[in-house]
């Protein structure tokens, strides 16, 4: 098996939060839980996040910032880090994608891609 030095996997689970949403005001709130797993051969720290959030109207928000939920977790090979955050859309359906900027224990920076994932209210897509 050819294991890469930089192999950070990102898994996503999403949930619609009806108690925080106001559909009558075009406000739909979603939580997303991210699991970041270091499957590479060297430790790495998450430095920055970059999100592209798109709603069903084609409105796009870009979010850049340091760390995630106030943390810059370090992941040794084989370790995972899990956190939950959220976003609000003006439509009941949308999508997110992005990347994490990482730095390995040798000082090399690299990007860990976050594949597009959907945000949707229950029954919004049949």
pLDDT digits (tens, 9 = 90+) for 70-85: 999 999 999 999 999 9
- For 55, counting Cβ atoms within 10 Å of its Cβ (0-12 exposed, 13-18 middle, 19+ buried), the class is buried
pLDDT of residue 123: 79
Provide the domain count of the chain. Answer: 1
User: Alpha carbon 81 to chain centroid distance?
Assistant: 12
Q: Which domain holds residue 109?
A: 8-120
Using the predicted structure, report yes or no on whether residue 66 has a pLDDT greater than 70: yes
Task: Give domain status of residue 17, yes or no.
Answer: yes
Domain CATH for 97? 2.60.40.1470
Task: Give domain status of residue 106, yes or no.
Answer: yes
Task: Give domain status of residue 43, yes or no.
Answer: yes
Using the predicted structure, report yes or no on whether residue 125 has a pLDDT greater than 80: no
User: Is the CB of residue 95 less than 8 Å from the CB of residue 51?
Assistant: no
Range name among 3-17, 39-53, 79-93, 96-110 with the lowest pLDDT average: 3-17
Cα separation, 93 vs 118, whole angstroms: 7
The model carries a pTM of 0.91
More reliable by pLDDT, 55 or 3: 55
Task: Give domain status of residue 50, yes or no.
Answer: yes
DSSP conformation class of 107: S
pLDDT of residue 1: 44
What per-residue string of b and e applies to 14-32 under the rule 16 or more CB within 10 Å gives b? eebeeeebeeeeeebbbeb
DSSP conformation class of 27: B
Task: Give domain status of residue 126, yes or no.
Answer: no
Using the predicted structure, report yes or no on whether residue 21 has a pLDDT greater than 60: yes
């Amino acid at each position: 098996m050819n294991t890469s030095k930089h192999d950070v996997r990102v898994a996503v689970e999403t949930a619609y939060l009806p108690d925080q949403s106001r559909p009558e005001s075009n406000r739909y709130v979603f939580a997303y839980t991210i699991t970041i797993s270091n499957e590479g051969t060297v430790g790495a720290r998450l430095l920055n996040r970059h999100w592209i959030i798109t709603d069903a109207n084609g409105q796009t928000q870009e979010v850049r910032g340091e760390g995630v939920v106030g943390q810059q977790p370090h992941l040794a090979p084989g370790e995972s880090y899990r956190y939950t955050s959220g976003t609000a859309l003006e439509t009941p359906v949308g999508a997110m994608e992005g990347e994490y900027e990482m730095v390995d224990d040798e000082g090399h920076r690299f990007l860990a891609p976050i594949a597009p994932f959907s945000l949707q209210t229950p029954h919004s897509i049949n």
